Structure 1
Amino acid sequence: MTHDTPAGAGPRRREVVSTDSVFGAPCWVSLTSRDLQATQDFYAAVLGWRWRGAELGEHFRIALADGVPVAGIAAVASMWQMAVAWTPYFAVPDADVAVSRVRERGGTAAVGPLSFPPGRAALLADRDGATFGIWQGELVTNWEAWRQAAPTFVRLHTRDAFDAAIFYGEILDWASGLPGCCEVEYEGGEVVLRSRGDIVARIDSGAVEAAPDPEVRPHWQIHFSVADVAGCARAAEKHGGSVLREDETEAILRDADGAQFTVTSRGSP
């Protein structure tokens, strides 16, 4: 399944970067789809990605941006009766500990942790139902290179941002004081997660004074940095996708299979 795609790492790098050095931060994104070729064609047209095989088999591919592995894709949604969706993975030093913490705090462990050398993965859901993954071990690509090549950040849309921040903070050791841990701040109406000074995630639930919105379906949204938001939106429409919302700096898109993601203009706050 695509949530195990980090195992398809390809040739070994000279510098081995593990989740011990970037724990708590997003370190990979993956997509389940129904049609592998159609998915490749769509994201090649919209985001300019190229492709290589993954070690997990013929249903899996690794997306490349300027030669850097940036995402995993697997055409297993129909075969394994899974939802078509993008999922972020967070780096953890110990997958078993992270899964235990999720269960203890009312979350769900859907898959794993399972061993996929050079690491271990699990697919989880927080207590409000938002799906996310964890990855322990060697990263698919250098974390700094991955951050520069594709995602700007991931954003959790949820009913109660502060409750969610506490949940994830306890799972992923945010603001724990441990060397290298992620920092948590509140700014611009959102909970903001920083790693090495960069914003890597946001948690949003609307106005601080407002009661939790029961209409919100909690989910993680993946934001990809692009040079031309309008061009990506037009390409998505041309290749069977749709535009849910668009302005000069950002567009929420849906691919031809129904998976939702966001393109954000490079240099936007």
Structure 2
Amino acid sequence: MLTTQFLPGSPCWVDLGSSDLEASASFYSGLFGWRFEPAMEGYGLWQIGGDTVAAVGSVMEEGTGPAWMIYFQTLDCDETVKAAELAAGTVRSRPFDIEGQGRMAQLTDPAGADFALWQPGGTRGLDLVNAPGSLAWAELYTPDLDDARAFYRSVFGWRFTDMDMGDFTYPVAYPADGDGELSMAGLARLESGGPAHWGPYFEVPDCDTVVAMCQELGGTARGPVETVPRVGRMAFLSDPHGARFAVITSTT
């Protein structure tokens, strides 16, 4: 499970690149009960009870559309970028400082999945995870699971175990440091031929209710709600501008 301990290599931040900040703020506030708080021009925080659970900014990269971005913690952004390049990753944005907050970079893995790095300064990461309305899991959709394992092991030192799902095994990632309770991400084989990508899961109290609300607010359900034994009830959604995400009511 995710934790705000934010060990190196673990998800520590998530933000949405939006083509319409006002519309995105309205959609996600209605869906999750988030409160939008402007942070700087073109960028704001989503909060629950004063705790930051996600952020949103204007789409800045040419040729990209609305999408969620997952940031992974690093103690040295520049060295992690070098490791990603050596492992055949692509640097979309070289490391740069956000004054007083931290240092970041944006990368793409060899299969084409975008992700980002965060070296903490004044901001360590999200204030809340796993609670309703907050980030609960990260999942990589990629055509070759073995290649993905090798890349992220080289970049972050991740450890992997295979979860038996009956008809298939699901690789679960753990940070290099920490115990076996700190699983943080999973790898899913991309069968459709679409682009490789990282996707966030947000915890919700009632998956079915949130799926219905998403559609009422102009979003899309990208498949039926499913119950996965020992995991929870989940659904894959898109917001009105096409950004993909998932919701889950975890098994307790």
If the length of structure 2 is used for normalisation, what is the TM-score?
0.84
CA distance in 2, matches of 1:140, 1:65: 17
The alpha-carbon deviation at position 130 of structure 1 amounts to 0.4
- Verify the 8 A CA contact 1:168 1:174 in the aligned structure 2: yes
Residue 59 of structure 2 is aligned with which of 50, 63, 76? 76
1:13 corresponds to: none
The alpha-carbon deviation at position 26 of structure 1 amounts to 0.6
Query: Which SS does the other structure have where 1:168 is aligned?
Result: helix
2:170 corresponds to: 190
Query: Which SS does the other structure have where 2:222 is aligned?
Result: strand
Higher mean displacement: 96-105 or 243-252: 243-252
CA distance in 2, matches of 1:138, 1:231: 38
1:266 corresponds to: 250
The 1:106–1:141 alpha-carbon spacing in structure 2 relative to 1, beyond 3 Å, is closer
AA aligned opposite 2:151: F
Deviations 1:75-133 (A, max 9, x none): 235x8553210011000111111111111111100012111132111110000100000
Query: Which SS does the other structure have where 1:240 is aligned?
Result: coil
CA distance in 2, matches of 1:245, 1:87: 22
Q: Mapping of 1:1-20 within 5 angstroms?
A: none
AA aligned opposite 1:82: T
Deviations 1:19-54 (A, max 9, x none): xx6101011111101111110010011111111111
CA distance in 2, matches of 1:71, 1:125: 21
Higher mean displacement: 121-130 or 248-257: 248-257
- Verify the 8 A CA contact 1:159 1:216 in the aligned structure 2: no
The alpha-carbon deviation at position 266 of structure 1 amounts to 3.0
CA distance in 2, matches of 1:87, 1:185: 24
The 1:194–1:39 alpha-carbon spacing in structure 2 relative to 1, beyond 3 Å, is same
The 1:165–1:115 alpha-carbon spacing in structure 2 relative to 1, beyond 3 Å, is same
1:158 corresponds to: 142
Q: Mapping of 1:48-197 within 5 angstroms?
A: 48-54=33-39, 56-57=40-41, 59-76=42-59, 80-116=62-98, 117-138=100-121, 140=123, 145-149=127-131, 150-175=134-159, 184-188=160-164, 189-195=169-175, 196=178, 197=181
If the length of structure 1 is used for normalisation, what is the TM-score?
0.79
- Verify the 8 A CA contact 1:102 1:171 in the aligned structure 2: yes
CA distance in 1, matches of 2:186, 2:124: 23
Higher mean displacement: 145-154 or 34-43: 145-154
AA aligned opposite 1:128: A
RMSD of aligned C-alpha atoms? 2.2
Query: Does 1:240 find its partner at 2:193?
Result: no
The 1:139–1:226 alpha-carbon spacing in structure 2 relative to 1, beyond 3 Å, is farther
CA distance in 2, matches of 1:140, 1:72: 13
CA distance in 2, matches of 1:65, 1:127: 36
- Verify the 8 A CA contact 2:103 2:121 in the aligned structure 1: no
2:187 corresponds to: 203
Residue 9 of structure 2 is aligned with which of 24, 28, 48? 24
The 1:138–1:166 alpha-carbon spacing in structure 2 relative to 1, beyond 3 Å, is same
CA distance in 2, matches of 1:107, 1:163: 12
